[in-house]
Amino acid sequence: RKEVEQDPGPFNVPEGATVAFNCTYSNSASQSFFWYRQDCRKEPKLLMSVYSSGNEDGRFTAQLNRASQYISLLIRDSKLSDSATYLCVVILSGSARQLTFGSGTQLTVLP
């Protein structure tokens, strides 16, 4: 079983739509959680950290459910510029703060 699993997609949605991505992690002692965004042939860039209380940054909302070992990202009013691959990232317990990446979910926002 992979340590971090995501639905690979692709998700093709019209502009203005709301889209949600899910991610599960296998290590219940995982410590920190993030969503990164990666554009084609570019490096990943931090989108937002994920906290147990949930957090929101503009059109983006991240949720963490430790009991279910589940992380989500919600994008409202999607823009063409949101088209990218979204990576779920976890810092595993005892991993010396190394990032473990999911395989990514590809999003294409259509005009």
Partner 1 sequence: GAVVSQHPSWVICKSGTSVKIECRSLDFQATTMFWYRQFPKQSLMLMATSNEGSKATYEQGVEKDKFLINHASLTLSTLTVTSAHPEDSSFYICSARDLGGRAMDTQYFGPGTRLTVL
The nearer residue to partner 1, 12 or 18, going by C-beta atoms, is 12
Q: Which residues pair with 60 in a beta bridge?
A: 57, 75
Of 106, 38, 30, 107, give the one whose Cα is nearest residue 65. Answer: 30
How far apart are CB 96 and partner 1 at their closest, in Å? Answer: 7
CB nearer to partner 1: pick between 45 and 59: 45
CB of 22 to partner 1, least distance (A): 16
- 93: three-class secondary structure by DSSP: coil
Shortest separation between residue 54's beta carbon and partner 1, angstroms = 18
* DSSP letter, residue 101: E
Measured from the CB of residue 76, what is the shortest distance to partner 1 in angstroms?
25
Q: In whole angstroms, give the CA distance from residue 33 to residue 44.
A: 15
> Considering Cα of 51, then 52, then 56, then 62, what sign does the dihedral take?
positive
Nearer to partner 1 by Cβ, of 42 and 66: the residue is 42
As beta bridge partners, residue 25 has 4
Q: Which is nearer to partner 1, 19 or 104 (CB)?
A: 104
Chain contacts with partner 1 (rule: CB under 8 A): 32, 34, 41-46, 49, 87, 91, 96-104
